Chains A and B, each alone.
Chain A
């Protein structure tokens, strides 16, 4: 589905080159829920942007749905959810969800159908006519997810979508996201810096560390696909969380050299 092999990315800045990604390799299979976790500066967002063709790697090869990332972008193979909801304030919730549909040239009736469907999916019924600035942060992020789901992309790229929300709302949205993933068979790449969030959501956890940004561990989660929040008290969950924590720590000690 997504294959990243030996990708390097160096940003040229005024303070000299910054090695954002170094020899990163990764396989994401269809239907996976993959989390990228690591401290800030580890390149997790950059990796997601490389997959989305919003950044171009210095060298290495990336394949998305048997295409180059840029071809995949032009074929609208993925939906992207940004850290800030980034809704257009001059459009209502349903207007925002229709935005990609308008750009992609869907018919009027199809626009209505799809908008209604994804609004139901993210539980925003009754808020269609509201403007983004009339909604809470959690609702804005739901609308933003609905916008990314409105068209038929089978990959969903999410960049810390719940990073700015409080823990109670985040737990709720995590549960809803899992539910949604179970119902839609999408492949999801999810950037986070929360260990419980990564372990709770993922079938595969990619642990990354900074300077240079690289992958230190890839954990295949043994947790069942259907899970609820209680799973966080199970032995298995705690064991995986421990392994993630150790991976993050290992990345830090290497930092000394």
Chain B
């Protein structure tokens, strides 16, 4: 048996052993990041050793070290792609789509007859297949990030709308009556009661949409884009069998997605600390 495969099993068993130790140790003072980072390190090491030991073709699965090397050497390209796809395409579409959905939800809440018309329409839009819409939007809005932004808007609009409408519908009759006894105006009730109580739902929508926006912006580039962007890079590098670059792009997308989701989760914790779901 070759040395790499031997090491592979050593690392596997070693990781297992440490895991058992930690679970028995059960110290609440142990930093929370230790367990997941240990897990990640073991996986990466096993991956590396398996690829070398079994001499796996780098087109099928490049070693993590190869991906890291490619990543560090292509920082400039990755940065250009990141800005093009995630900042210009995904983020702008996310803000526009979620913002529009939020405003629509408030309009629906204010004028009940809109609900029967707009909710099914939103549902219809969300059911449109992205592979059909993307080429059409490229025709309409051009090859650059604007068409990707439009795709993201279409993708995030409905989930955000449904969550916001649901949150605004959630009325505690007591608290509503209280506002009535103060003879509070519609706007005062909305700002001081309805929106704060809808916040947990609004954040649910924002979290779901954060991943949708990411996926939408990348996939949309498969249907026409300038010669930059993460989706463009992935599809063209696959054509050149440069799978290490594809993995590097995936790595960027994963990191950016986690950070963005985490950022929203932190804001959520800060603003909905009072909700039972945030209390332990």
Contact surface of A with B, Cβ cutoff 8 Å: 52, 54, 73-74, 76, 78-80, 82, 84, 86, 88-90, 99-100, 102-104, 131, 133
Contact = CB atoms under 8 A, between A and B. Distances in A.
Interface in B191-215: 192-193, 196
A86 B182 contact: no
A179 to B, nearest CB: 24
B110 interface: no
A88 B174 contact: no
A159 B270 CA distance: 34
A54 B18 CA distance: 64
A74 B177 CA distance: 13
Given A54-B177, A80-B178, A82-B174, A103 B279 contact: no
Given A103-B188, A103-B192, A76 B183 contact: yes
Contacts of A78: 181
A79 B172 CA distance: 19
A104 B181 contact: no
A89 B276 CA distance: 10
B113 to A, nearest CB: 23
B181 A133 contact: no
A47 to B, nearest CB: 15
Contacts of A99: 182, 192
Interface of B: 172, 174-175, 177-184, 188, 192-193, 196, 272-275, 279
B172 A100 contact: no
29 contacts: A52-B181, A54-B177, A54-B180, A54-B181, A73-B181, A74-B183, A76-B183, A78-B181, A79-B181, A80-B178, A80-B181, A86-B172, A86-B174, A86-B175, A86-B178, A88-B175, A88-B196, A89-B275, A90-B196, A90-B273, A90-B274, A99-B182, A103-B179, A103-B184, A103-B188, A103-B192, A104-B182, A133-B274, A133-B279
Closest 7 CB pairs of A and B: A89-B274, A86-B174, A80-B181, A90-B274, A74-B183, A103-B184, A103-B182
Nearest to B183: A74
Nearest to A79: B181
Among A74, A84, A89, the one with the most B-chain Cβ atoms within 10 Å of its Cβ is A89
Contacts, number: 46
A50 to B, nearest CB: 13
Contacts of A104: 182
Contact of A88 (B193, B272, B279): B193
Given A54-B180, A80-B178, A90-B272, 19 more contacts: A54-B181, A73-B181, A76-B182, A78-B181, A80-B177, A82-B174, A82-B177, A86-B174, A86-B175, A88-B192, A88-B193, A88-B196, A89-B274, A90-B196, A90-B274, A103-B184, A103-B192, A104-B182, A133-B279
A86 B177 CA distance: 10
A89 B175 CA distance: 11
Contacts of B183: 73-74, 76
